[in-house]
Structure 1
Amino acid sequence: MPRLDESWGDAAEAGSSGQSNRPLLLLIGSGGQIWREYILKSVADSYDLWLFAPKEPGWESPYLRGNTIVETLDAHAAMESAVRLDKSVRIAGVLCYDEIRVPVAAMVAEALKLPGANVEGVRACRDKHLGREALAAAGVAQPASRAVASLQEAQEAARAIGYPVVLKPRALAASIGVVRADGPDSLESAYTEASEAYFDEIPRDKAWVLVEEYLDGPEVSVECVCHQGRVTPMFVARKSLGFAPHFEEIGHTVSADDPLLDDPAVRHVLQEAHTALGLDTLVTHTELRLTRTGPRLVEVNARLGGDLIPYVARLATGVDYGMVAASLAAGAEPDVTPVRSATAHVQFLYPEHDLDVTSLTVGEELPPGVHEVTPMVAPGRRLRLPPRDHVGGRYVYVVTTGDSPEECAEALRAATPLVHLTGTPVG
């Protein structure tokens, strides 16, 4: 199997404006190549794809029937362009897995009267404070949470909730700015970190920081199909977290027969949360903490999971989750029954300290159970560890498979010595 940063071949004719008998999906944003090319490859085998993006496509071109240059964070411009396109090339559905652009995608689907998520529900997923309010009103099990606009408000909220607390920006992603404060002495630095975290593309509300109850227990994510409001769990990914007191996700394990899929308490929380948010027809990535008092909701994301989680899940279950999302967007109710019963794991490797990469090599002979070992950076790249950078500190990912999480862990231990990184430490 080719690595995700290699060419996948000619899956579709780039920029073709000819007629086609295949349904056409409008793709709002394409994401990063290493993270999302596997989705485009599989979807382009069955659907024509038309990309909306603010610049001309590059690596995406082999999978596209065409593209439109449009500012995809401008909902009005995106809807106008979609309506014009639909008059000449009938759009069967709107597909988006880009965290920041899912609200615009929902608005475009609504404007075209196509299947999709409820717009207000998607906004509540993006704005964690709005989401918390909707979930609290419905009595969904979740942490206590307060939105604050100053250090003094954060201190008052932490005292009311009780330490430890978690501080996070209300509308970012990838664990950026998320940090635990175990007591008053660490609250100020935690608040500073959370309040200063930002994406250029996202405006910051005055009450930008959430102060939340810390939940004990392991964290998992559950990918779900929500079809006309009915939620079906597809797979569970068990997270490995690192760089405490931050919450960097350094690995994910998916087992096709994970018992949490049939856990009544997990299913109840999932359905309650989706109903409370008014989510209708979409694929979601929901994060839970398995606490001593039962599963409690961390957040719901109105998209497929990142970090190659759907890719790893496909190795474990045999189900193509990119195609699941595409079929759902096109109005079909996809079959998500596993056709394989295995376990797969993805692990991201980080250096011991910040450094400028001099060389990165990977041995060619992979041990049994190692599916791939893929470099993520080239010489000259600066790697900075959390909290100075999140995700950007990774230099290799390793995918392993087996009959159990233990077999995957054993294969990972055998694969790690194959990776050789050298660099100059950064002060």
Structure 2
Amino acid sequence: MRLAIIGASKGQLPICQKAKDLGIETFCFAWDQGAVCKDVVDHFYPISILEKDKIVELCKELNIEGVVSNASELTAEVSSYVSEELGLNGTPYRILEKLHDKYLIRQLSKCVDGLSKPRFYKYGGTDLNLYPCVVKPCEGSAKAGVSFVDNPVDFITAIKYAQDSSDGDILVEEYIQGKELSIESLSYKGTHYVIQITDKDSSSAPHFVELGHHQPADLSPFMRDKIKKVIPLLLSEIGYSNGASHIEVKYQDNKLYLIEINLRGGGDEISNRLVQMSTGIDYLRGMIDVALGVFKKPVQVSEPAYAGIYYLCKQTEYLLPFFKQAKGKDWFVEGRISTEELKESHSNYERDGYLIYKSDHKIIP
């Protein structure tokens, strides 16, 4: 089979390698600079992914049978456009395009049974005194431009911080206490499968940077069942039909609140490695199978395990001895310390090291 892969950055490398391991002929489209995938795929075309129509025409000539990408909103949107133009399996481009807007997602999710509704508004120049609140760009990812606010003075600073990270509108929403999770799902022709639920370690206010991820999440049976019922309803409500999704929620007192919808596999190695390590379900293969139209209902093929990743930065300085002593442990999978001069992390792009584990229990430093 012939598979087009949109993007060639480090985040796309695992899905390129997975397709190669499956014996699928791969055709990768991306700007040449920083294209770490070009030596893994069978065919590389140095074309900017923003040249969507040019990619479509080439894919027609090449008889492409599926289009895929992972862990990036931009490549997901381009993949959707190309697959739709080719008449291949995917989610309509208009769905991904409009769902960049977090304000719109808030409006769409209002009528989903089982989701509690925080108060929110789009900033139009006036502070409506919704304290405590979170200020964030309506379009953005990786916690860039996000701030917690509980007073008018900090509100002005937070608005500027959000505006500096985005040219678009600003969302102000009620701050919800509780534990943050992400839900990793696969959708195929309108049927949605919750594959795994991930616990998140986050920094405190003001920016809520993600410091670690652990699977499976520590949940009551009630909340686990509730999530498995609500997420398919949410995905259907927004019109998502094919592909991976990474949905962030908070829960408290058996109430479930939507934080963000990301119509792609989760970053931070969640989709690339952790899901398969913890469930035995080949998540990357699932994405490829969806794109090629040959997807089968996921079946767990190995015993469940615990898998996770810790990140190193100034906020997790206490983990430095743990990182240094981890190599050689039976649970240690991979790790790196890039510097011991640890920097304060203000978004998920700023880390000084990582450590991945797999075990029969959650590894706690």
State the secondary structure of the residue aligned to 2:39: helix
Assess, with a 3 A threshold, how the Cα gap between structure 1 residues 85 and 258 changes in structure 2: closer, same or farther: same
**Alignment equivalent of 1:306, drawn from 237, 250, 267:** 267
Quick one: which amino acid aligns to residue 86 of structure 1? K
Q: How does 1:22-421 map to 2 (within 5 A)?
A: 23-31=1-9, 33=10, 35-46=11-22, 47-55=24-32, 58-73=35-50, 77-87=51-61, 89-97=62-70, 98-136=72-110, 140-150=115-125, 153=126, 155-156=127-128, 159=129, 162-198=130-166, 204-205=167-168, 208-255=169-216, 263-310=224-271, 311-338=273-300, 339-351=302-314, 365-375=327-337, 377=338, 384-387=343-346, 390-405=347-362, 408-409=363-364, 413=365
Q: Which has the larger radius of gyration?
A: 1
Judge conservation of contact 2:215–2:306 (CA < 8 Å) in 1.
Answer: yes
Name the CA distance, whole Å, in 2 between partners of 1:101 and 1:145. 29
Judge conservation of contact 2:12–2:37 (CA < 8 Å) in 1.
Answer: no
Assess, with a 3 A threshold, how the Cα gap between structure 1 residues 239 and 261 changes in structure 2: closer, same or farther: farther
Judge conservation of contact 2:181–2:217 (CA < 8 Å) in 1.
Answer: no
Name the CA distance, whole Å, in 1 between partners of 2:212 and 2:270. 9
Quick one: which amino acid aligns to residue 399 of structure 1? I
Name the CA distance, whole Å, in 1 between partners of 2:335 and 2:35. 24
Name the CA distance, whole Å, in 2 between partners of 1:141 and 1:111. 37
Judge conservation of contact 1:256–1:317 (CA < 8 Å) in 2.
Answer: no
Assess, with a 3 A threshold, how the Cα gap between structure 1 residues 58 and 268 changes in structure 2: closer, same or farther: closer
RMSD: 2.7
Deviations 1:398-426 (A, max 9, x none): 11222222xx11xxx3xxxxxxxxxxxxx
Name the CA distance, whole Å, in 2 between partners of 1:116 and 1:383. 42
Quick one: which amino acid aligns to residue 218 of structure 1? K
Assess, with a 3 A threshold, how the Cα gap between structure 1 residues 45 and 59 changes in structure 2: closer, same or farther: same
State the TM-score, normalizing by the size of structure 2.
Answer: 0.88
Structure 1: segments with no counterpart, 5+ residues: 1-22, 199-203, 355-360, 414-427
Judge conservation of contact 2:180–2:250 (CA < 8 Å) in 1.
Answer: yes
Judge conservation of contact 1:235–1:261 (CA < 8 Å) in 2.
Answer: no
Quick one: which amino acid aligns to residue 393 of structure 1? E
Q: How many residue pairs are counted as aligned between the two chains?
A: 355
Judge conservation of contact 1:179–1:246 (CA < 8 Å) in 2.
Answer: yes
CA drift of 1:212 comes to 0.5
Judge conservation of contact 1:255–1:404 (CA < 8 Å) in 2.
Answer: no
CA drift of 1:25 comes to 1.3
CA drift of 1:362 comes to 5.7
State the TM-score, normalizing by the size of structure 1.
Answer: 0.76
CA drift of 1:395 comes to 1.5
Name the CA distance, whole Å, in 1 between partners of 2:57 and 2:236. 30
